[in-house]
């Protein structure tokens, strides 16, 4: 085949008709489970002002320094949203959602954009679903957030994963720990990777999730955050762990799991799957008690997670899990001659108004070609209507599975197909 003149931008893909049923099935599962948890959906624009993204994700993160798609229009610089926590918090503050009372439990589904080097499981436009619980500092919010995330994978049947959990403490604990960490690593500064050297001053905790080989020895020997948590943070962490145990959600404590930004607090977690290869993170999240204030709202504690939908679907593929059943067309009308064609066209709405899916030939092909098309569409029934059938008002209804044909009126066709559909499978 000749190379097409145009194709999707690098790292972006079309979701083609044979893939959309899985996407819709996944979206349906997310909506259904969210309803069971009493979470409400929020939809925000695909673009946000760049200054929000920089503030909400952090100037020094890889996402902001290397990966955002940003452009100038008029006086404003816009960014294609790389994640949704900052936009949801922006929306919460802008619309005073706190005034609706209670805790806001907001979930979302949608595309995100990051200019990363594309590979399997890593795209430049990808999709996430996620949750932001805004207005509760209680460990119940952390536990329910994790429980919702796990529920989606459990319902789909993905069982092989690791949930890593950590507490990075509140602001006070973290400031203390950062200093201890700096003091510990400073004598080895010259031996650390260049990136870690840069992080030593401003954000030494990020060194803990460095993948650079030369850093590993020093990370292994470094003091652990758990020993520097204050009482509040320790109690909170214990409650989260206990809650997960009660819910039978297995987890591993990983002291090296950090979230880089200053407004992340206490709980941090990440879900990964061995079925995914090198890009093995399915989802991640944690508490961000300081972000609402950072974005201009009143101090409001919050917790959330974001999960990659492509990666979830890749895991399904690896595990041979099919999310959607092949949809079956109920009726295809094969019609011969102008009059029969017009009749077919006018009968379609009636069939559809009874909840049946129905289609006909759009190209005026021969009867043989239309029958072929009916087979290709995997239709359950075919109606055959020619001049004779039209004159007698008795059409041929062909059961495609049984290869049986009967002569029926239009009314009888509807009742026969409806009766067939309502029979238990
Ligand atoms: P993050 O917001 O970076 O914590 O990402 C949350 C989840 O989104 C990850 O665990 C991945 O499953 C997914 N994800 C992040 N970046 C990408 C990407 N470039 N392509 C596909 N999925 C991604």
Q: Which atom, in ligand 1's list, is nearest to the CA of 118?
A: 19
Distance between CA 109 and CA 45 in Å, rounded? Answer: 12
Atom of ligand 1 nearest to the CA of 63: 3
Cα–Cα distance, 299 to 284 (Å, whole number): 23
pLDDT for the residue numbered 278? 79
Cβ(206) to ligand 1 under 6 A?
no
For the entire predicted model, the pTM comes to: 0.92
**For residue 224, what is the DSSP state?**
P
Residue 55: CB within 6 Å of ligand 1? no
Fold of the 329-419 domain: Rossmann fold (3.40.50)
CA of 108 to the centre of ligand 1 (A): 14
**pLDDT bucket at 201, cuts 50 / 70 / 90:** confident
What distance in Å separates the CA atoms of residue 112 and residue 120, rounded to the nearest whole number?
16
Q: How far is the CA of 136 from the centre of ligand 1 (A)?
A: 25
Give pLDDT, residue 264.
84
Is residue 60 over pLDDT 70? no
**Rounded mean pLDDT, 141-162:** 95
Alpha-carbon gap, residue 92 to 94, rounded angstroms:
6
Cβ 379 under 6 angstroms from ligand 1: no
**Between residues 375 and 275, the one the model is more confident about:** 375
Domains 20-170+230-318 and 329-419 share a fold: no
- Exposed / middle / buried, residue 145 (Cβ in 10 Å: 0-12, 13-18, 19+): buried
Please compute Rg for the chain using Cα positions. Answer: 28
Task: Report CA(183)–ligand 1 centroid distance (Å).
Answer: 33
Helix (H) or strand (E) holding 408: strand 404-408
Asked if residue 59 has pLDDT above 80, the reply is no
Q: Are 144 and 133 in contact (CB under 8 A)?
A: yes
16 pLDDT above the threshold of 90:
yes
Q: What is the mean pLDDT of residues 295-312?
A: 96
Residue with the bigger pLDDT between 146 and 67: it is 146
CA 345 – ligand 1 centroid, Å:
47
CB–CB of 336/386 below 8 Å? yes
Best residue among 83, 311, 314 to mutate for probing ligand 1's pocket (most ligand atoms within 8 Å of CB) is: 311
Q: In this structure, which residue's CA is closest to atom 14 in ligand 1? A: 308
112-136 per-position pLDDT tens digit: 999 999 999 999 999 999 999 999 9
Return d(Cα 206, Cα 197) in angstroms, integer: 11
Nearest atom within ligand 1 for CA of residue 270: 10
DSSP string, 256-268: T----STT-EEEE
What is the mean predicted confidence (pLDDT) over 140-150?
A: 98
At residue 327, the pLDDT reads: 81
The beta-strand segments (E) located in 309-352 are: 331-335
- Tens-digit pLDDT profile for residues 262-295: 678 999 999 998 887 778 899 999 999 999 999 9
Order of all β-strands in the sheet with 76-80: 47-49, 76-80, 70-73
Query: pLDDT by residue (tens digit) across 218-242?
Result: 999 999 998 999 999 999 999 999 9
Query: What is the whole-number distance in angstroms between the Cα of residue 123 and the centre of ligand 1?
Result: 9
Rounded Cα distance between 319 and 311, Å, is: 12
Q: Where are the domains of the chain?
A: 20-170+230-318, 329-419
Average pLDDT over residues 151-178: 93
Bigger pLDDT: 159 or 357? Answer: 357
Strand partners, 129: 109, 307
pLDDT of res. 260? 63
Q: Give the sheet arrangement for strand 281-287, strand by strand.
A: 40-41, 104-113, 125-134, 302-308, 281-287, 265-272, 162-167, 252-253
Q: Once rounded to an integer, what is the mean pLDDT over residues 334-363?
A: 96
Q: Which of 135, 61, 101, 57 is nearest to 295 (CA)?
A: 57
- pLDDT of the residue at 256: 87
Mean of pLDDT over the chain:
93
Q: How confident is the model at residue 166 (pLDDT cuts 50, 70, 90)?
A: very high
Ligand 1 atom nearest to 285, measured from its CA: 4
Superfamily of domain 20-170+230-318: Bira Bifunctional Protein; Domain 2 (3.30.930.10)
Instruction: Return the residue whose CA atom lies nearest to atom 4 of ligand 1.
Output: 284
């Amino acid at each position: 085949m000749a190379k097409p003149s145009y194709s999707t931008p690098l790292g972006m893909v079309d979701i083609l008709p044979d893939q959309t049923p899985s996407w819709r099935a996944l979206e349906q599962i997310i909506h259904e489970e969210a309803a069971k948890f009493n979470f409400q959906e929020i939809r925000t624009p695909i673009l946000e002002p760049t200054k929000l993204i920089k503030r909400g994700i952090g100037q020094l993160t890889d996402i902001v320094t290397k990966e955002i798609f940003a452009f100038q229009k008029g006086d404003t610089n816009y960014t294609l949203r790389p994640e949704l926590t900052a936009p949801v918090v922006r929306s919460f503050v802008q619309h005073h959602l706190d005034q609706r009372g209670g805790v806001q439990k907001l979930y979302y589904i949608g595309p995100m954009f990051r200019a990363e080097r594309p590979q399997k499981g890593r795209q430049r436009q990808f999709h996430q679903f996620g949750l932001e619980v805004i207005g509760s500092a209680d460990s119940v919010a952390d536990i329910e957030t994790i429980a919702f995330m796990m529920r989606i994978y459990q319902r789909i049947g993905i069982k092989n994963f690791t949930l890593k959990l950590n507490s990075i403490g509140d602001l006070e604990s973290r400031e203390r720990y950062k200093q201890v960490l700096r003091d510990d690593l400073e004598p080895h500064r010259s031996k650390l990777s260049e990136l870690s050297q840069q992080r030593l001053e401003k954000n030494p905790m990020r060194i803990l999730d460095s993948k650079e080989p030369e850093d590993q020895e020093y990370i292994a020997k470094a003091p652990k955050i758990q020993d520097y948590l204050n009482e509040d943070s320790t109690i909170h962490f214990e409650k989260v762990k206990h809650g997960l145990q009660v819910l039978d959600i297995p987890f591993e404590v990983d002291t090296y799991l950090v979230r880089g930004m200053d407004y992340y607090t206490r709980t941090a977690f990440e879900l990964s799957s061995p079925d995914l290869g090198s890009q093995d993170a399915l989802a991640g999240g944690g508490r961000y008690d300081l972000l609402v204030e950072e974005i201009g709202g009143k101090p409001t504690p919050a917790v959330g997670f974001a999960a990659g939908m492509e990666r979830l679907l890749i895991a399904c593929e690896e595990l041979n899990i099919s999310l959607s059943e092949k949809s079956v067309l109920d009726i295809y009308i094969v019609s011969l001659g102008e009059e029969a064609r017009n009749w077919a066209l006018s009968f379609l709405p009636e069939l559809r108004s009874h909840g049946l899916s129905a289609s006909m030939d759009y190209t005026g092909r021969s009867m043989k070609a239309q029958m072929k098309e009916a087979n290709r569409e995997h239709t359950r029934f075919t109606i055959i209507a020619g001049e004779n059938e039209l004159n007698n008002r008795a059409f041929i209804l062909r059961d495609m599975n049984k290869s049986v044909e009967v002569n029926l009126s239009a009314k009888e066709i509807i009742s026969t197909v409806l009766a067939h559909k309502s029979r238990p499978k």
